[in-house]
């Protein structure tokens, strides 16, 4: 196994002083767009009512808080929640597409500059110096933990940007076929299968989908999927898509073409779990940052715990504990503290020799008197107790069983009530003050401690009930005291402590979400009342009601996340020239323009997220239905009825169109892709019609794009025609057939294929109808000119041979009609030597067909006939060779046509001359000769008594 196998998929530069770090300002030659500036941070988004903008909880009164309102009813008699759920998409700040809260430009203004601007580091993976030789196990969430490290050079970075050029400017959709998709075919097919299945499960069934009332009643659950079913379907689709994406990247050869897909996966692995109703937002953030930026890594954590003879001797012990704490991994932090045996640091303990196999394994050589060891044990035990009792712990990101879409567990998923957090923070503050009180005298504490400055506000729930300790009996060494107090500062949600010690803004975001929860505001009062109601009704909640509670909590958590991002924008502004960071900030701030940023890396991933988010409600789409339609309560009305009533009206906002266009562009790129799976003969358009069909006006757009597909083979055309027939795209079906017929006319003499496709196009295309008739007429005329069947049997193409030999196999009545005269003429040429009587009957049929437009001596040019009257002189000329074989009935039919022909006058004669190669005298001669022959036939019949 490679020594780099422990490197995670994504890493960030941890050096805050480096010019190549995430915290460096934009390069001097890069114009600032005001991204994350203090002036651009909307004050209305703050959810913490603190008098000090530098501290989330300055002046707040820790401790228990008595509720002033009685618990009301959580759900109405009809099972509806009495609280306002609202769309989860509205949890964050309202963003304008012209100016977003995080400086994301509108799609037209998004530049094509690289992800790594001047002065930026091109290394977003873990440093070579960090645990390269340690393996990180892959967990069950389908996320990475075992990818080998890649070093990207400036040249490689520029190649990555060039590969993403097709999606770099997702401006207004132009309804044209896009550039070919670059995503792997297997992933494309899997994603489409998942989205088709999700649509089938989430869409309410219509009454006309059932053969009987019994079938409709039997499938009643599909008519209105319950809330818990909807979340189950959405969670499965999200997890399956991320798993498929992960599996594809696991098989990757790490080619440059795969890099954009990795960046898209990095963003998608945050978006989908973050918005899932049953997920805890803080837990998702912890899992996400651990997956892509483990600090400490699982292998590093195992190494510290396994330090011989005890973890307390590890030089990284307190650094690991603090890093776990700031990331909210309380369970792991408590476990590391619990693993320490402080007696090994006693001056009375036997000496331990330093290991000789490397500086990284050096042990802590600091020793303390036994009295201080007992003090350390007491202080650490308090810290462990506080960590274990921390509200809203969730699941540890280090445990393989911790997934982005875990099974709902009310006890584990509960984020903790504001009262829980107030009481717990009070205990943390007490522990911090006690540590100050028993710290060594050489500790650099300020004269006034937190405890000394604290004045309890009895009106907000009373004091903590503890008093300043007298002279301590034991002293905690200053080094240990500093570590514990640093932990407690983070655990109290101290903004300065978190933002000043976090490795990067991502870590600070996770820490603020975990520790800086609102517990002393009007919003917190409402949340506490809500949680009291939930607790009061928890024993009687059905699954649907429970999911409603989860969705309500999700809305509050996303609102908190949006407010945290305002703090991040001021304290640790991300790099505005880094497209990847810009996209992540958009996701965390609930700025809809992150879709456009994501689309630059992968149209497939962007479109899939829009579809899932549209069904879930956290992404606005033009096709988002109203509640009545979404729940299957259509009351017997169709979409037009709802439009008239104003109940199913689509969302035509720019935000909805931005999301919908992402799907349209993805579908268009599939239309521009020749093969998705060439071995299985799966073409790009066959997949592309699916996503576009699920957008507003999808049928119209699919029809337009189908007409733009390059027609390269008969096989492709037949597949297109089969689809357009099944989908009832009649005009598109006609256009494709006509275009292919024209192509065949200019490139081949395959008359059967030409006639076949012209007949398919003729139903909706008058030009195709005319060309079909002219093509058959040309074949008939060339046969007459050569006095033999054209084309000869030996070069007849298979399609035309089948049409002539088995007319019943031809499904087109129009084509059978047009071929009837030409087929009869070929029969005449085939049988005139061997069976003249039969042959002359076939020729008579041709003459009768030509005589239909001139019936009664008037040439009706609008009359449709398979044989034009202009070929009559040539057909009559062929009759002269076998006129004696005419029967009395055939002779009378010919005589009638001949009489009508003569009655039409010079107009028809001139047209016949223009069509043939003779003159008027030759036409007169042919007519006269045929009449003489007919007279002989009649005379013979009269002699035999046949008249």
Over residues 759-772, the pLDDT tens digits come to 999 988 999 999 99
Residue holding tokens 């498929």?
A: 244
With a cut of 60, say whether residue 56 has pLDDT above it: no
Give the model's pLDDT for residue 895.
Answer: 93
Q: Is residue 487 part of a domain?
A: yes
pLDDT digits (tens, 9 = 90+) for 614-639: 999 899 888 754 333 343 444 444 55
Q: Is residue 24 part of a domain?
A: no
Q: Are the C-beta atoms of residues 292 and 10 closer than 8 Å to each other?
A: yes
**3-state SS record for 482-516:** HHHHHHHHHHCCCHHHHHHHCCCHHHHHHHHHHHC
Task: Return d(Cα 790, Cα 749) in angstroms, integer.
Answer: 12
User: Given pLDDT bands bounded at 50, 70 and 90, which one contains residue 224?
Assistant: low
Q: Is residue 329 part of a domain?
A: yes
Give the model's pLDDT for residue 809.
Answer: 83
Task: Return d(Cα 410, Cα 396) in angstroms, integer.
Answer: 16
Residue 350 burial by Cβ neighbours in a 10 Å radius (0-12, 13-18, 19+): exposed
Give the model's pLDDT for residue 107.
Answer: 35
pLDDT digits (tens, 9 = 90+) for 306-350: 888 899 999 999 999 999 999 999 999 999 999 999 999 998 888
Q: Are the C-beta atoms of residues 250 and 241 closer than 8 Å to each other?
A: no
CA-closest candidate to residue 689, choices 703, 677, 679, 676: 703
Question: Which of 24-33, 41-50, 524-533, 657-666 holds the top average pLDDT?
Answer: 657-666
User: Given pLDDT bands bounded at 50, 70 and 90, which one contains residue 811?
Assistant: confident
With a cut of 90, say whether residue 121 has pLDDT above it: no
Task: Return d(Cα 582, Cα 125) in angstroms, integer.
Answer: 18
Question: Which of 144-158, 220-234, 474-488, 735-749 holds the top average pLDDT?
Answer: 735-749
- CA torsion sign, 172 to 173 to 176 to 180? positive
| Number of domains into which the chain is organized | 2
Q: Are the C-beta atoms of residues 570 and 508 closer than 8 Å to each other?
A: no
With a cut of 70, say whether residue 709 has pLDDT above it: yes
Q: Is residue 885 part of a domain?
A: yes
Q: Is residue 909 part of a domain?
A: yes
User: Given pLDDT bands bounded at 50, 70 and 90, which one contains residue 458?
Assistant: very low
Q: Is residue 247 part of a domain?
A: no
pTM confidence score? 0.74
Give the model's pLDDT for residue 517.
Answer: 87
CA distances from 598 to 93, 615, 690 (A): 20, 19, 21
Q: Is residue 239 part of a domain?
A: no
Give the model's pLDDT for residue 159.
Answer: 35
Task: Return d(Cα 316, Cα 307) in angstroms, integer.
Answer: 10
Residue 731, SS3? helix
Structure-model confidence comparison of residues 742 and 1, the more confident one: 742
Q: Is residue 250 part of a domain?
A: no
The contacts of residue 411 (CB under 8 Å, 6+ apart) are: none
Mean pLDDT of 905-924: 83
Of the ranges 76-90, 659-673, 817-831, 871-885, which one carries the lowest mean pLDDT score? Answer: 76-90
Give the model's pLDDT for residue 913.
Answer: 85
Task: Return d(Cα 892, Cα 314) in angstroms, integer.
Answer: 117
With a cut of 90, say whether residue 703 has pLDDT above it: yes
CA-closest candidate to residue 784, choices 679, 610, 917: 917
With a cut of 80, say whether residue 357 has pLDDT above it: no
Task: Return d(Cα 672, Cα 667) in angstroms, integer.
Answer: 9
pLDDT digits (tens, 9 = 90+) for 247-285: 998 886 655 558 899 999 999 999 999 998 888 899 999
Domain that holds residue 935: 835-946
With a cut of 60, say whether residue 844 has pLDDT above it: yes
Domain limit, last residue, from 503, 518, 553: 503
Phi, psi of 683 (to 5 degrees): -90, 160
Q: Are the C-beta atoms of residues 429 and 437 closer than 8 Å to each other?
A: no
With a cut of 90, say whether residue 429 has pLDDT above it: yes
Task: Return d(Cα 567, Cα 500) in angstroms, integer.
Answer: 13
With a cut of 70, say whether residue 574 has pLDDT above it: yes
User: Given pLDDT bands bounded at 50, 70 and 90, which one contains residue 197?
Assistant: very high
- The counts of H helices and E strands in the chain are 37, 2
* DSSP H or E run through 432: helix 418-437
Residue 363, SS3? strand
Hey, which residues does 675 pair with through a beta bridge?
683
Backbone dihedral region for residue 275 (phi beyond 0: left; psi -120 to 50: alpha; all else: beta): alpha
**3-state SS record for 128-189:** CCCCCCCCCCCCCCCCCCCCCCCCCCHHHHHHHHHHCHHHCCCCCCCCCCCCCCCCCHHHHH
Domain limit, last residue, from 485, 503, 521: 503
Give the model's pLDDT for residue 705.
Answer: 95
């Amino acid at each position: 196994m490679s020594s780099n196998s422990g490197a995670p998929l994504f890493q960030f530069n941890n050096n805050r002083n480096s010019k190549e770090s995430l915290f460096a300002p934009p390069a001097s030659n890069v114009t600032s767009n005001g991204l994350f500036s203090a002036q651009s941070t909307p004050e209305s988004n703050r959810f913490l009512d603190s008098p000090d903008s530098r501290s989330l909880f300055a002046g707040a009164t820790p401790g228990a808080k008595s509720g002033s309102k009685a618990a009301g009813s959580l759900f109405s008699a009809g099972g509806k929640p009495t609280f306002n759920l609202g769309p989860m998409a509205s949890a964050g700040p309202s963003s304008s597409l012209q100016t977003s809260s995080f400086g994301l430009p509108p799609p037209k203004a998004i530049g094509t500059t690289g992800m790594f601007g001047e002065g930026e580091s091109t290394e977003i993976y873990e440093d070579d110096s960090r645990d390269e030789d340690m393996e990180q196990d892959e967990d069950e969430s389908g996320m990475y933990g075992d990818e080998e490290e890649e070093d990207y050079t400036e040249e490689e970075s520029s190649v990555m940007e060039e590969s993403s050029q097709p999606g770099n400017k997702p401006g207004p959709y132009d309804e044209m076929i896009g550039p070919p998709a670059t995503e792997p075919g297997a992933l494309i097919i899997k994603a489409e299968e998942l989205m088709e299945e999700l649509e089938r499960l989430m869409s309410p069934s219509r009454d006309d989908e059932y053969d009987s009332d019994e079938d409709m009643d039997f499938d009643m659950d599909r008519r209105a999927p319950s809330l818990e079913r909807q979340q189950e379907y959405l969670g499965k689709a999200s997890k399956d898509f991320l798993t498929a994406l992960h599996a594809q990247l696991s098989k990757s050869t790490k080619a440059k073409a795969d890099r954009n897909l990795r960046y898209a996966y990095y963003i998608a692995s945050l978006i989908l779990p973050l918005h899932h109703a049953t997920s805890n937002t803080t837990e998702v953030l912890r899992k996400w940052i651990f997956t892509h930026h483990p600090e400490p890594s699982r292998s590093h954590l195992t190494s510290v715990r396994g330090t011989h003879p005890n973890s307390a001797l590890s030089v990284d012990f307190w650094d690991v504990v603090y890093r776990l704490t700031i990331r909210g991994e309380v369970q792991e932090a408590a476990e590391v503290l619990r693993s320490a045996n402080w007696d090994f640091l006693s001056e009375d303990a036997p000496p331990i020799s330093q290991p000789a196999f490397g500086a990284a394994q050096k042990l802590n050589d600091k020793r303390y008197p036994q009295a201080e060891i007992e003090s350390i044990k007491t202080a650490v035990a308090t810290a462990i107790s506080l960590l274990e009792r921390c509200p809203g712990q969730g699941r540890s990101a280090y445990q393989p069983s911790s997934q982005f879409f875990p099974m709902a567990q009310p006890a584990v998923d509960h984020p903790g009530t504001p009262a829980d957090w107030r009481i717990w923070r009070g205990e943390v503050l007490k522990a911090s003050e006690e540590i100050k009180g028993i710290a060594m005298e050489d500790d650099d504490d300020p004269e006034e401690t937190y405890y000394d400055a604290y004045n309890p506000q009895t009106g907000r729930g009373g004091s903590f009930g503890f008093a300043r300790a007298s002279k301590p009996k034991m002293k905690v060494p200053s080094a240990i005291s500093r570590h514990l107090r640093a932990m407690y500062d983070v655990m109290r949600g101290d903004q300065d402590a978190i933002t000043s010690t976090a490795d990067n803004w991502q870590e600070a975001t996770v820490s603020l979400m975990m520790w800086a929860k609102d517990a002393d505001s009007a919003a917190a009062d409402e949340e506490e009342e809500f949680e009291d109601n939930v607790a009061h009704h928890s024993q009687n909640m059905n699954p649907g009601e429970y999911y409603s509670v989860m969705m309500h909590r999700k809305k509050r958590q996303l609102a908190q996340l949006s407010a945290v991002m305002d703090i991040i924008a001021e304290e640790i502004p991300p790099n505005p020239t880094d497209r990847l960071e810009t996209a992540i900030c958009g996701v965390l701030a609930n700025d809809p323009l992150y879709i456009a940023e994501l689309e630059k890396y992968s149209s497939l991933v962007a479109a899939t997220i829009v579809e899932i988010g549209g069904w879930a409600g956290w992404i606005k789409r033009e096709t988002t239905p109203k509640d009545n339609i979404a729940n299957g309560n259509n009351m017997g009305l169709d979409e037009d009825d709802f439009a008239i009533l104003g109940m199913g009206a689509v969302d035509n906002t720019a935000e909805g169109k931005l999301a919908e266009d992402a799907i349209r562009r993805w579908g268009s790129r599939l239309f521009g892709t020749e093969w998705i799976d060439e071995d299985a003969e799966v073409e790009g358009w066959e997949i592309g019609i699916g996503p576009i069909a699920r957008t507003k006006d999808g049928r119209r757009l699919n029809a337009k794009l189908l007409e733009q597909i390059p027609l390269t083979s008969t096989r492709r055309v037949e597949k297109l025609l089969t689809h357009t027939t099944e989908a009832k795209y009649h005009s598109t079906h006609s256009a494709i057939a006509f275009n292919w017929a024209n192509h065949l006319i200019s490139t081949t003499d395959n008359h059967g294929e030409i006639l076949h496709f012209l007949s398919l196009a003729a139903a909706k295309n008058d030009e195709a109808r005319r060309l079909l008739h002219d093509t058959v007429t040309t074949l008939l005329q060339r046969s007459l000119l050569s006095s033999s069947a054209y084309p000869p049997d030996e070069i007849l193409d298979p399609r035309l041979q089948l049409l002539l030999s088995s007319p019943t196999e031809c499904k087109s009545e129009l084509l059978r009609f047009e071929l009837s005269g030409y087929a009869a003429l070929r029969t005449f040429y085939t049988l005139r030597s061997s069976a003249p009587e039969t042959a002359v009957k076939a020729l008579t049929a041709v003459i009768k067909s030509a005589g239909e437009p001139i019936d009664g001596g008037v040439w009706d040019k609008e009359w449709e006939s398979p044989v034009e009257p202009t070929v009559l002189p040539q057909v009559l000329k062929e009759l002269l060779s076998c006129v004696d074989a005419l029967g009395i009935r055939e002779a009378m039919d010919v005589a009638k046509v001949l009489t009508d022909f003569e009655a039409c006058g010079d107009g028809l004669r001139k047209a016949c001359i223009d069509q043939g190669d003779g003159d008027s005298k030759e036409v007169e001669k042919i007519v006269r000769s045929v009449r003489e022959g007919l007279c002989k036939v009649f005379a013979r019949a009269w002699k035999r008594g046949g008249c």
